[in-house]
Each structure stands twice: as C-alpha cells, then as structure tokens.
Amino acid sequence: MEKNKKFIIESVREAMIKEELAIPLYVSHIEQAFFWSGLPEKKQTKIIESLKILERESEIHAKNLQRVLEIYTNL
C-alpha cells in the first residue's frame, strides 16, 4: 500500500476513535462533576441536554467516517 494511502487510512481511523470516545467521556465527567458544582439544576439540565446532542452527532460522525474509510479502502 502506498505511503499516503496508509497515512490517510490511519488518520481516518484515529478520527473515528476520537469521535466514538471523546464526547461520551466529557458527558460522563461533567455529569459527575455537577454533583459538586453547586450549579442550579436547571442549568445543569440544559448543559447535559446540549452535550447529549453533541454525543448523538458524534455517533453520526463516527459512522460517516467509517463509510469514508470503506469507500477509500475500496478504491
């Protein structure tokens, strides 16, 4: 496999891992940190709702990256 193609495949795989892991980790950490924050519950709820949207979008991004990888590797 040529060097550039290998680099691109590795880069897309790395991006997929980050998409799958980063946002869910942040959501989990922030939910736990809220316990100690003293932030009003209403604000906590709004923040968590926004992060959940990011989490769902991140899952879509990961799936799209998987599709890109499949298309690219079949060229």
Q: What ranges do the domains of the chain cover?
A: 3-73
How many whole angstroms separate alpha carbon 11 and alpha carbon 23?
19
Q: Tell me: the pLDDT tens digits for 24-54?
A: 888 888 888 888 888 999 999 999 899 889 8
Query: pLDDT band for position 12 (50/70/90)?
Result: very high
Length of the chain in residues, anyone?
A: 75
How many whole angstroms separate alpha carbon 73 and alpha carbon 2?
12
* Percentage, residues of the chain above pLDDT 90: 43
What is the model's pLDDT at position 1? 62
Beta carbons within 8 Å of 13's beta carbon, 6+ residues apart: 69
CB 23 within 8 A of CB 58: yes
Q: State pTM to two decimals.
A: 0.70
